[in-house]
Amino acid sequence: MATVGEILKEERLIKGLQLRDIEKQTRVREKYLRAIEENNWNFFSSKIYIIGILKNYSRILGLDSKRILAFFRRDYERKEEVKFKKRVSSSYLTPQSRKLLRLAIVGGVLLFLLYFVYQLKLYFSPPTLTITSPKTSTFTTESKVTVAGSTHKEATLKIVGQRIYLDENGRFTYDFPLQEGENMLVFELIGANGRKATIEKVFIKNSPK
């Protein structure tokens, strides 16, 4: 019965492909592909790498990877244990793959640094406040206005000196009585980091004509 390497090589030749063609598609060096076709398992550092190459190689050739892996287990995993290389060689990867790996590592480090800087900025910044209602600041007939908004859920909020309790999402509502003319509403915020912020909002009530 044919070995797994013989099956792959035969199918490659039927499709008229060279090993360098397979290398371009799998990003695996030609010498490792040749070792697969020659069933030279001692050439690899681990069975994991062999299985990975077998899956990619069989996929490129349009073969059933499960069937190929079954041949591999039949021929080698049930026999005496293969003595693999002790460490992974960087030559396993093609130059393009090594470049992609380096870019991935650098990208990961940059993302971590950006996230770290963002968290530092949040920690050292004072809390912010968003007023969602009312949409207008000018009124005529209303005797009061219901102010709704949100802030950081860990923040402490006072409106005109009165402690306002936030819900679990940091939202709040406050009924503010209006008098004719300008009505100043003062929001005092203290963040979990101890930073403070004061925000003023003016509502105007005009006399009805």
Domain 129-205 CATH superfamily: Immunoglobulins (2.60.40.10)
- CA geometry: angle 162, 166, 169, nearest 5 deg: 160
Q: Identify the pLDDT of residue 3.
A: 86
Q: Is CATH 3.40.710.10 the right assignment for the domain spanning 4-84?
A: no
- CA geometry: angle 183, 184, 188, nearest 5 deg: 150
Domain assignments of the chain as residue spans, ordered by start: 4-84, 129-205
- Residue 1, exposed/middle/buried by CB under 10 A (0-12, 13-18, 19+)? exposed
The answer to whether the pTM exceeds 0.85 is no
Q: Identify the pLDDT of residue 40.
A: 86
Q: Identify the pLDDT of residue 199.
A: 92
Give me the residues of the chain with pLDDT under 70, please.
1, 77-95, 122, 209
Q: H or E element: which one contains 14? A: helix 4-14
